[in-house]
């Protein structure tokens, strides 16, 4: 199955949700190429960047599950590399 490279940006505004966030990310660990988290303590938020290489359907499922968590903002961008 063809995969796509995507960047998923997550802003965590409610730190209480991080356990659930990490559970979901663990489920998709095989697709995650890299993860960078930046705590912005002065504003009380955290910013997470996820690079994934997965079928588009899987990327959408991950983004959708994260987006349904309260206290998170999620956006996804896809690479044009390897696309017609």
DSSP state, residue 37: E
Tell me the average confidence (pLDDT) per consecutive run of 10 residues in the chain, 84 residues long. 94 95 97 97 96 96 97 95 59
- Alpha carbon distance 84, 82 (integer Å): 7
The pLDDT of residue 79: 92
d(CA 84, CA 72): 33
Cross-strand partners of 23: none
d(CA 30, CA 5): 13
Whole-number pLDDT of residue 82? 57
Q: Is the Cβ–Cβ distance between 73 and 10 less than 8 Å? A: yes
pLDDT at residue 81, rounded to an integer: 72
């Amino acid at each position: 199955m063809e995969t796509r490279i995507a960047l998923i940006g997550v802003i965590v505004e409610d730190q209480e949700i991080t356990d659930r966030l990490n559970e979901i990310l663990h489920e998709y660990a095989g697709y995650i190429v890299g993860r960078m988290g930046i705590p912005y303590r002065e504003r009380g938020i955290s910013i997470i960047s996820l690079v994934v290489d997965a079928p588009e359907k899987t990327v959408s499922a991950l983004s959708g599950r994260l987006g349904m968590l309260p206290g998170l903002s999620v956006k996804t961008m896809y690479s044009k590399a390897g696309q017609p």
